[in-house]
Amino acid sequence: MKIRTEVLEQLNRQISVIIDKTLELERKYIVEISSVHPVYNRSARNLIHYLAFRSFEMDILQDQLRALGLPSLTNIEGHVLESLLSIKTIINHLLGVQKVEHKKGVITTAKSKKILSKNTMLLFGYKSKKRRTRIMVTLPGIAAEEPKLIRRLLKAGMNSARINCAHDDPEVWKQMISHLDDAKTIMSRNCKVMMDLGGPKLRTGPMEEGPKVIHIRPERNDLGEVITPSRIWIAPYDVLPPKDNADAILPIDEQLFSKIKRGSEILFNDSRGKKCKILVDKKQGGGKWGLCRDSAYVTTGTEMEVHRRKKSGKEAIFVGELLPLEQSLTLKSGDTLILKKDQEPGRNATYDQGGQIEAPAFISCTLPEIFKYVKVGEPIFFDDGKIEGRIEEAHPEYLIVRILQAKVLGSKLKSDKGINLPESDLPISGLTDKDRQDMKFVIDHADAVNFSFVNDKSDVEELQDLMEELGKRIGIILKVETQKAFKNLPKILLQAMRSYPIGVMIARGDLAIETGWKNFASIQEEILRICEAAHIPDIWATQVLESMAKKGVPSRAEITDASMAQRAECVMLNKGIYIEKAVKLLDRILIKMQRYQKKQNTLLPKLGEADRLILEYY
């Protein structure tokens, strides 16, 4: 009994030290707390309390509390001081001291849930009837032309629509939003509009143009037999297929296009002289669909003969101007790559007759100002981390990069692929000129703006000042995608909390590269917890069900990832031709998983017939 008393007294002292630290830190940052929007005042205090709490090593204390059967201070993010005072009250009573610890204005567990729920609703809108976590869907450009697509996405479970200002233009965005407004009225559904500012993008520059040719490739089995013919979209210039599911596009002059009828056969010799045939299958919109069972290389100006069904004679047509093939660099481990400041189109390495390199591969980048800040020895990543390198030489006009990690047979690096310099101190943040221009549209048409490359509180302040200039405030979603943003997250949040409502997007693609693969899982966890401490809703974003959206079949890892997304208030899906299927699957996963997880809390639903040693599948 004496030992138990000594342990309880020791625990009581430890809890008191932690409480004192929370109140000390609150006093230290009282100016920052007082500056937030009144709605966030108590949330800002709780955030400071949580950071004070996490400044201690808690694992030993938690083990001691569990050993005594006491609450172990897990999942206290939203109500830190109340949880500390409650455990201290329990220990007081176990020691025979009938004292209830209390402090005026402390957020209770129930109140913290209500605050987060209200903040989530104001930012993301009302939740679905059966699902707590919202689904945000990135609208493809085709949504501007197909209003029915937006209706299908709403029906599948979309709660908010994301429009990326890095793509398309205000006319297309306006059309998307108009179709969404119509769909909301017709279906009596709520759906918020979120618009991404492109931000300063560090990407690879242009490549040399390749040949103007398309490669038609039907699907074959292991024996080389055609099992699915290629679908060819045949239409006048600028008439695109209704959906992004054409295997190839053949542009034909409008006058010549009129000669092509359903059921016609189009015969031609490809660039190798091989005889090939396309069967015109059906008409749709302003074009026609053809089926081709031959592998073929078709170039600009290829002459083709149109043979009409049940009619003699033939008509000549010519393939119009094709886009040049997108070229790429092939990089292997050990290769040298030159990253240039000027915008000279990239080119692969050249070799002499003996196979020795005459000139290494080179490519430019979209932000030449980085060359002043990059240092020798720093890591560099390309294309979402698929290619890893190290800076071996840094010059004012170019960098020499040694490739450390790539596929065995070589990784392809194309233009407009992301470049990450996680250890370089780069001045890449804030609003670009394009962002400022786009913001004039965003503030009048969107419910919230997704703010890219937030690295410091000054970036947030810049956006808030711009809103002030434009005379209107909308919701702000902070995209955390750099190591610097994570490091400064508490200061960034306190600055953002001067506006209302706000949220955080965990941009997991760039963040994983920037923070390192081994660190990413723990950093993602910390962002979720810090947001909950501030009662700020967060978005689980990047590569959620990506294979499902793009290929129609999810990977097992994606299913697990999607189920973990239940811990966030919102999950974001990127576009893909199977996006509707992806939304439906995510909807079902989130509905099922909310019985097992709510934020950081693990739930235990009834396991049917467990008492008979049988596991019931729900």
Beta strands at 379-382 and 350-351: parallel, antiparallel or unpaired: unpaired
Q: In which band, very low, low, confident or very high, does the pLDDT at 76 lie, cut at 50, 70 and 90?
A: very high
Interatomic CA distance for residues 457 and 446, integer angstroms: 23
Contacts of 14 (CB under 8 A, 6+ apart): 61
Q: In which band, very low, low, confident or very high, does the pLDDT at 617 lie, cut at 50, 70 and 90?
A: low
Q: In which band, very low, low, confident or very high, does the pLDDT at 598 lie, cut at 50, 70 and 90?
A: confident
- In this predicted structure, what is the pLDDT of residue 310? 62
Beta strands at 160-164 and 134-138: parallel, antiparallel or unpaired: parallel
- In this predicted structure, what is the pLDDT of residue 277? 94
Contact 439, 452 (CB under 8 A): no
Contact 538, 505 (CB under 8 A): yes
pLDDT in tens, 104-119: 889 999 999 999 999 9
Interatomic CA distance for residues 583 and 572, integer angstroms: 10
Domain spans of the chain?
2-107, 117-199+429-602, 213-318, 329-420
- In this predicted structure, what is the pLDDT of residue 433? 93
Q: How many other C-beta atoms can be found within 10 angstroms of the C-beta atom of residue 333?
A: 16
pLDDT, greater one: 518 or 46 = 46
Tokens, residue 1: 């009994």
Contact 320, 287 (CB under 8 A): no
Beta strands at 213-216 and 219-220: parallel, antiparallel or unpaired: unpaired
Mean pLDDT, range 495-501, rounded to an integer: 96
**3-class SS of residue 355:** coil
Greatest CA span in the chain, whole angstroms? Answer: 108
Q: What are the distances in angstroms from CA 548 to CA 135, 206, 543, 577?
A: 15, 30, 10, 9
Is it true that 213-318 and 329-420 share their CATH fold?
yes
Does residue 589 register a pLDDT over 80?
yes
Q: How many other C-beta atoms can be found within 10 angstroms of the C-beta atom of residue 606?
A: 9
**Closest by alpha carbon to 336, among 281, 275, 287, 403?**
403
Q: In which band, very low, low, confident or very high, does the pLDDT at 537 lie, cut at 50, 70 and 90?
A: very high
- In this predicted structure, what is the pLDDT of residue 612? 83
- In this predicted structure, what is the pLDDT of residue 419? 94
DSSP β-bridge partners for residue 571: 135, 540
Tokens, residue 291: 């089926």
- In this predicted structure, what is the pLDDT of residue 618? 61
Structural domain 117-199+429-602, CATH architecture: Alpha-Beta Barrel (3.20)
Q: In which band, very low, low, confident or very high, does the pLDDT at 244 lie, cut at 50, 70 and 90?
A: low
Does residue 531 register a pLDDT over 90?
yes
pTM, to two decimals: 0.85
- In this predicted structure, what is the pLDDT of residue 211? 87
- In this predicted structure, what is the pLDDT of residue 364? 95
Q: Which amino acid type is present at position 183? A: A
Does residue 242 register a pLDDT over 80?
no
Q: In which band, very low, low, confident or very high, does the pLDDT at 209 lie, cut at 50, 70 and 90?
A: confident
Does residue 312 register a pLDDT over 80?
no
Cite the beta strand spans of 92-202 per DSSP E: 134-138, 160-164, 192-196
CATH number corresponding to 213-318: 2.40.33
Q: Above pLDDT 70, what percent of the chain?
A: 98
Q: In which band, very low, low, confident or very high, does the pLDDT at 89 lie, cut at 50, 70 and 90?
A: very high
pLDDT in tens, 329-387: 999 999 999 999 998 999 999 888 887 888 999 999 999 889 999 999 999 999 989 99
Mean pLDDT for the chain?
92
Least confident of 73-82, 409-418, 567-576, 604-613: 604-613
pLDDT in tens, 136-188: 999 998 899 899 999 999 999 999 999 999 888 999 999 999 999 999 999 99
**Domain 329-420 class, CATH top level:** mainly beta
pLDDT in tens, 548-587: 998 899 999 999 999 999 899 999 999 988 999 999 999 9
What is the CB-side half-sphere exposure of residue 471 using CA atoms within 13 A?
Answer: 1
DSSP H/E element including 563: helix 556-564
Q: How many other C-beta atoms can be found within 10 angstroms of the C-beta atom of residue 465?
A: 11
Q: In which band, very low, low, confident or very high, does the pLDDT at 219 lie, cut at 50, 70 and 90?
A: very high
Runs of H (alpha helix) within 68-141 = 80-94, 109-124
Residues 511/512/513/519 CA torsion (nearest 10 deg):
110
